[in-house]
Amino acid sequence: MLDARARLLLLRSYLLEYTDERHSVTVREIIAHLELSGYSVDRRAVYADIGLLCESGLDIRVRRRRANEYYVASRMFERAELRLLADMIRASRVLSRERSEKMIEKLASIASRHEAAWLRRQNMSAGPHKAGDERAFQNIGQILAALEQGSKLSFVYCQFVAKKALVPRRGGECYIVNPCLLIYAEDHYYLIADHPSHEGLVHYRLDKMENICVLDAPAAPADLTLDAAAYARTVFSMAPARQRWVHLAFDRPLLGTMLDRFGADVPVDVLDENTLALFAPVRVSPPFFGWVFQFAGRMRILAPDDVREEMLLMLEAYRIAGKNRRNE
């Protein structure tokens, strides 16, 4: 009985490793593989084992041919999903090259050996900018622990100086914050946190955080209404900025762009046959004004007045700076 169970597991492993929708095996090949492992079986035993594996949930299909062929038809991830995940891992600036390849090997381990070999060859999408160390990756674990435990977080925050050196800010003084959430933006991971000495939420880039530590002190109660996806839509730069509700008018052809930016559920009003408008929460900053400006007059800020005035002042400052450079 023990041998029969071990044989069943061996057959399952063989089918998962050697078969997929593009590669199948005959009963004769299955018997040969089992015999190499010391199991003497006949066709009836193989058919019975395949039936048991199907009953257990393994999706084994048969190709009706002169010699029927068997293969595992569905897995945890489809072929396209594996490729998508591998491309995202290789392109990530959060992960080092070594970490990326380790993660891709883990993906390959749940595919057939044929799909795994194909996945390893698809390295043309590797990102040109990879993390030089594991700092950001390791910090994720600490932050998740703090969020799960509801604890405060302590760390030293750094900044880049000449020659791309990373040095502590505030002379190495520890930042102690109430962690709120992690978001991925601008090709980096950020901790969104409540700092006692700052108004509103503050952003910290994970690869600039050192000596991170989960404290015993409980964090302030979390804002249960804070949604990572909704928050990310308000941000045009991870630099601190105040949030305002902004009324934007835009040409009809830009509707897709606006829905991509603010979400498909944002209410849209019709101003005239050529112009639409919407209200959206925005963290007002120079990058937001630059985003509006890139549409070359096809988008404009209707309200509030102080945000409109701020953009006009920024454009005027840019015009004067450009004029002064031409006169030098």
List, for residues 232-267, the tens digit of each pLDDT value.
777 766 666 778 899 999 999 999 889 888 888 889
Residue 29, pLDDT > 90, answer yes
Length of the chain counted residue by residue: 328
In the chain the first and final C-alpha atoms are separated, in Å, by 91
pLDDT (tens digit per residue) in 275-312: 999 999 888 888 888 889 889 889 999 999 999 999 88
Report pLDDT for 1: 42
For 307, the 3-state DSSP assignment is helix
For 2, the 3-state DSSP assignment is helix
The CATH class of 233-324 is alpha beta
Distance, in Å, from the CA atom of 282 to the CA atom of 300, rounded to the nearest integer, reads: 14
Distance, in Å, from the CA atom of 25 to the CA atom of 326, rounded to the nearest integer, reads: 74
Distance, in Å, from the CA atom of 116 to the CA atom of 73, rounded to the nearest integer, reads: 16
When mean pLDDT is compared across 125-129, 133-137, 196-200, the lowest value belongs to: 125-129
For 26, the 3-state DSSP assignment is strand
Looking at this protein, which amino acid is placed at residue 37? Answer: S
Distance, in Å, from the CA atom of 309 to the CA atom of 80, rounded to the nearest integer, reads: 48
Q: Considering the entire predicted model, what is its pTM?
A: 0.66
DSSP letter assigned to residue 247: E
Distance, in Å, from the CA atom of 11 to the CA atom of 27, rounded to the nearest integer, reads: 11
What would the CATH number be for the domain defined by 2-72?
Answer: 1.10.10.10
Residue 53, pLDDT > 80, answer yes
Report pLDDT for 265: 83
Among 87, 98, 158, 95, CA closest to 122:
87
